[in-house]
Structure 1
Amino acid sequence: METTIDITKTWYSFKEGNSEAFASLYNHFYPQIFEYGIRKGYSNENISNAIQDLFLHLWETRKKLPIPEKPLFYLFRSFSNHLINIQNSKQGKINYVNEEIFLLKYDATSEMDNLFKDEQNIQIKKVIQELNELPAKQKEFIFLKYFAELEYDEIAELMNITTRAVYKLNYRALDSLKEKLSTNKENLLALFILMKTLYKF
């Protein structure tokens, strides 16, 4: 059974040395960080090790840490920086499953039949198919904006591009999907919400 936690309150408790609060943050954010790592093309082993190292570092430096306004962005950025540091170190080695392509593949399974009406099933499956065909940077943008719900400037920092370039990715990705799916922006965003519910990100 899924549980909801008060992130800010839990983070305060974690900073004060509460190990249960620390465990709650770890359990809450681990799946999201892991999924981001998978879609970036890192191997399972690298992702697991990096997340464990990251949270160990957070625990050891907890008294000096800020209370982040956007914890998920804060952790995504810390996770990415940690992997970059490993890669840049003399002994560091990062194993990629796929170094070039941002993986945004969702399996259209029979679970949908129990959750949505037939027409919605068809629409979502079409969206999934077209998402898989987008260029890598557009897929990464879609994931960070509409599934992780990050802001444009946060996405720009994670992707190491300008905010203006992020807006361009948005226009191009949505225009491409609208054209291929013969739909409008409002319907497309509504389908993203349904997909996010389905995949529990």
Structure 2
Amino acid sequence: MSQDLQYWKQLKEKNDASAIKYFYDQYIKLLYKYGYHFCQDATLVEDCVQDLFLRLWEKRSSLGDTDNVKLYLMVSLKRSIYEKLKKNSKTTVTEEVPEDTFDVTFTMEEQIISSETDQITKDKLLECLETLSGRQKEVIYLRFYNGFTPEEVSEIMQISNQSVRNVQASALKKMRNNMDDPLLILVVGKLIESFFHEI
């Protein structure tokens, strides 16, 4: 994080082009991946990502302060994608892009579930994750896969901290309710709770 802030300062105060390259190299894959979860139009997502870096460079001297560049970039990209989707759709200016558009196919990675866990448990957990709503998936994606705090998720999703915690809790409850094996309920419940520190 400190390196991010150092480059952010260089970008703002010294017009340092190497700072843009650093952020591009550091976050390009994450931003593309995150963008594709909202919109499967690869061209639109790529345009939004490229526009984001172009705007960073063009407005470098007027950029605000931030203590989390990764968060700043993800919030900016999400806003940009929603604006383009609204512009390209037939909705009126006052209508919002549906909130529940986030979609992701989860995979079991080391930080989510240990390699010692039975494959059946992994498969069942993945199956339950697929039953979640778009909003629930987005919270889990941001919390589990990207390590954001509830406060950071709140900023990205533009909802209150309490709403983030409510969505977390409802996602966990839904997953538990979809488990038909008492042992799986216990094992998976413990695994998930280890990542929801507040629950």
Does the residue aligned with 2:104 lie in a helix, a strand or coil?
coil
Q: Which residue of 1 aligns with 2:144?
A: 146
Q: Which residue of 2 aligns with 1:182?
A: 185
Question: How large is the RMSD of aligned CA atoms in angstroms?
Answer: 3.1
**2:88 pairs with one of 93, 116, 120:** 93
Gaps spanning 5+ residues in structure 1: where?
193-201
Aligned pairs for 1:62-73 (under 5 A) are 62-73=60-71
Q: Which residue of 1 aligns with 2:106?
A: 106
Shift >4 Å, 4+ stretches: 189-192
2:191 and 2:147 map into 1 onto residues whose CA distance is 18
**2:24 pairs with one of 26, 31, 34:** 26
**2:3 pairs with one of 6, 11, 16:** 6
Give the % identical residues: 22
1:107 and 1:81 map into 2 onto residues whose CA distance is 26
Q: TM-score, normalised by structure 2?
A: 0.73
Matched residues, number: 178
How far did 1:8 drift?
1.6
Does the residue aligned with 1:119 lie in a helix, a strand or coil?
coil
Q: Which residue of 2 aligns with 1:166?
A: 164
Aligned pairs for 1:49-60 (under 5 A) are 49-60=47-58
| Contact kept? 1:138, 1:173, Cα under 8 Å | yes
How far did 1:120 drift?
5.1
| Contact kept? 2:136, 2:168, Cα under 8 Å | yes
Quick one: structure 1 residues 66 and 122, their matched pair in 2 at CA, closer, same or farther if it must change by over 3 Å?
A: farther
Q: Which residue of 1 aligns with 2:129?
A: 131
Does the residue aligned with 2:88 lie in a helix, a strand or coil?
coil
2:11 and 2:118 map into 1 onto residues whose CA distance is 42
How far did 1:51 drift?
0.6
| Contact kept? 1:104, 1:131, Cα under 8 Å | no
| Contact kept? 2:153, 2:164, Cα under 8 Å | yes
How far did 1:162 drift?
3.2
